[in-house]
């Protein structure tokens, strides 16, 4: 395959994604912010570049943008505030408009949805209360409206798998969301879905991407506790079960996709 793909950036998800794409015959370019991390990419055979983004400027070698597809995997950093993320994504949007890039896969999050009850689809437009969710919703729109390239938005649920499982330290301060259903996705599914979009582009589309089963977060922690030899206090019987359930039906239909980990409890 002769498609050139730039992955921005190659962290917990982007690094194995870059390796998988290269294994499948694509010419892959990976980005990290530090020289040390760039070296790590080079050591596994990825064409690696140091790319630095800020609200004022983007510093990167020109050849990193000489690609057919760019996968943007840059979640907002809470400590900087939402305006900083929006500003640097607007700069990136303009840069890509002047490049050879034809397709953008923008990794977003289900945090773009308001904290309502019930089933949530891509048609839900109510803004969330969180700054990160608001920033992502605005950035999604910025890329989708650019006509110089075709954008597909992937709204991933919480990322799980590998080292992203509860460990003993997590039981010292359990979240206050134990009675809420989980909306999560395994990293292997993330990589497979991105790969499917590269082979079967869906320009202008937005897809939710969460496992089909939504166990209570309490059940997740309970299983983890058993595995660790710990005891989790029972959930009070009067505790109301509240929370949204992300529907990924559109993704399953349009990409004919089947989740590798449709039930998060498979990991236990």
CATH code of residue 181? 3.40.50.720
Q: Which residues contact 242 (CB under 8 A, 6 or more apart)?
A: 117, 179, 180
Upstream peptide bond of 93 is cis (omega within 30 degrees of 0): no
Cα separation, 146 vs 8, whole angstroms:
18
Output phi, psi for 211, to 5 deg.
-55, 150
Across the chain, mean pLDDT equals: 95
At 236, is the pLDDT very low, low, confident or very high (cuts 50, 70, 90)? confident
**What is the phi-psi region of residue 249: left when phi exceeds 0, alpha when psi lies from -120 to 50, beta otherwise?**
alpha
pLDDT in tens, 36-45: 999 999 999 9
Residue 66 has pLDDT above 80, yes or no: yes
Q: How many residues in total does the chain contain?
A: 268
The whole-model pTM stands at 0.96
Selected residue with higher pLDDT from 236 and 67: 67
Q: Which residues contact 224 (CB under 8 A, 6 or more apart)?
A: 165, 166, 167, 170, 268
Share of the chain above pLDDT 70, in %: 100
Cα separation, 224 vs 72, whole angstroms:
32
pLDDT at position 93, please? 98
Residue 251 has pLDDT above 70, yes or no: yes
Domain range holding 15? 4-267
pLDDT at position 80, please? 83
pLDDT in tens, 179-208: 999 999 999 999 999 999 999 999 999 999
pLDDT at position 81, please? 83
pLDDT at position 238, please? 80
The pLDDT of 154-182, averaged and rounded, is: 93
Number of domains in the chain: 1
Output phi, psi for 111, to 5 deg.
-70, -5
DSSP string, 57-107: -EE--GGGG-SSEEEE--PPPGGG-HHHHHHHHHHHHHHHHTSS--EEEEE
């Amino acid at each position: 395959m002769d498609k050139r793909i730039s992955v921005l950036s190659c962290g917990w998800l982007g690094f194995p994604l870059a390796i998988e794409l290269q294994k499948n015959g694509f010419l892959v370019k990976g980005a990290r912010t530090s020289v040390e991390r760039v070296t790590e990419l080079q050591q596994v055979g990825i064409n690696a570049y140091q790319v630095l983004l800020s609200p004022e400027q983007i510093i990167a070698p020109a050849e990193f943008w000489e690609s057919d597809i760019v996968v943007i995997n840059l979640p907002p950093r809470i400590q900087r505030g939402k305006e900083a993320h929006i500003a640097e994504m607007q700069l990136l949007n303009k840069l890509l408009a002047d490049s050879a890039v034809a397709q953008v896969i923008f990794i977003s999050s289900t945090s773009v949805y308001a904290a309502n009850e019930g089933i949530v689809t891509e048609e839900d437009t109510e803004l969330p209360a969180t700054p990160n969710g608001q920033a992502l919703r605005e950035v999604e729109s910025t890329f989708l409206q650019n006509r110089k390239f075709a954008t597909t938005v992937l709204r991933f649920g919480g990322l799980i798998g590998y080292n992203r499982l509860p460990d003993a330290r997590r039981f010292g301060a359990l979240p206050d969301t134990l009675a809420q259903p989980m909306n999560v996705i395994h990293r292997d599914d993330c990589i497979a879905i991105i790969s499917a979009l590269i082979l079967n582009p869906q320009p202008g589309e937005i897809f939710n991407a969460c496992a089909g089963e939504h166990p209570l977060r309490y059940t997740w922690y309970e299983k983890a506790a058993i595995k660790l030899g710990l005891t989790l206090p029972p959930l009070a019987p009067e505790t109301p079960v509240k929370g949204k359930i992300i529907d990924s039906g559109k993704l399953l239909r349009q990409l004919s996709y089947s989740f590798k980990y449709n039930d998060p409890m498979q990991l236990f």
